[in-house]
A and B are shown apart, each in its own frame.
Chain A
Amino acid sequence: AQSVTQPDIHITVSEGASLELRCNYSYGATPYLFWYVQSPGQGLQLLLKYFSGDTLVQGIKGFEAEFKRSQSSFNLRKPSVHWSDAAEYFCAVDDSGAGSYQLTFGKGTKLSVIP
């Protein structure tokens, strides 16, 4: 079965610092990969997705992620964190191969931002 691992449960960074959130997956073929963000008390919002092509993908709110097949990773990055980025971040993989039909989510990484 496919699985998604987010090794960091909680990360704290200072405002203005760079950020990298890790995501590793196990899946036989090239997966469809997603990063979602959940602000406190809210549903999930899509930050970015990778299906094919350029392995560096740009998303909303200044986030980017890089797909590395050799490492089975899809890490999320932001060069300069803002206080409003404090939230929980989820990496997800499509199980069905159809795009977003059935997603397997990681357990999430909670981001705290120090002013």
Chain B
Amino acid sequence: DVKVTQSSRYLVKRTGEKVFLECVQDMDHENMFWYRQDPGLGLRLIYFSYDVKMKEKGDIPEGYSVSREKKERFSLILESASTNQTSMYLCAIDGTYEQYFGPGTRLTVT
């Protein structure tokens, strides 16, 4: 079974803090994705990576950055967290004709 692990299920941070969300896969897949999920808006792509040290902006990259130093790990970084970044964050990898999702991290910024 494909396994996509996210470092935290729930996270509470203060405004202005630097926040790291980690995603780890065990399947040696090249493509990894970070989505943000908000009620009534569905999933929106923040960033994706198609190889180590490679990244591409998605639909809503503002306020976020990413890091992929190793193939199995893709990090989403909030340089200075704001309350409008309170959301559910989902990591996914691109498998054989489907994307596999992690369980999500629910981030609250106060």
By a beta-carbon cutoff of 8 Å, the part of chain A in contact with chain B is 9, 32, 34, 36, 41-46, 49, 51, 90, 99-103, 105-108
| Residue pair A101, B31 in contact (C-beta under 8 Å) | yes
Do B104 and A49 touch (CB < 8 A)?
no
B95–A100 contact, CB under 8 A? Answer: yes
Which of B's residues lie within 8 Å of A, judged by CB? Answer: 4, 31, 40-45, 48, 90, 92, 94-95, 97-104
Can you give 6 A-B contacts (C-beta < 8 A)? A42-B104, A43-B104, A46-B99, A100-B98, A102-B45, A105-B42
Known: A101-B31, A107-B41. A51 touches B97 (CB 8 A): yes
Which residues of chain B have C-beta atoms less than 8 A from A34's C-beta?
98
A107 engages B42 (CB within 8 Å): yes
Give the interface centre of B94, B97, B103, B104 by most chain A CB atoms within 10 Å: B97
Q: Are the CB atoms of B104 and A90 closer together than 8 Å?
A: no
For A46, list chain B residues within 8 Å (CB): 98-100
**A residues less than 8 Å from B103 (CB atoms):** 41-43
Q: Are A49 and B98 in contact (CB under 8 A)?
A: yes
CB distance from B36 to the nearest CB of A (A): 11
Q: How far is the CB of A99 from chain B (nearest CB, A)?
A: 5
Contact of A108 among B42, B45, B94, B98 (CB under 8 A): B42
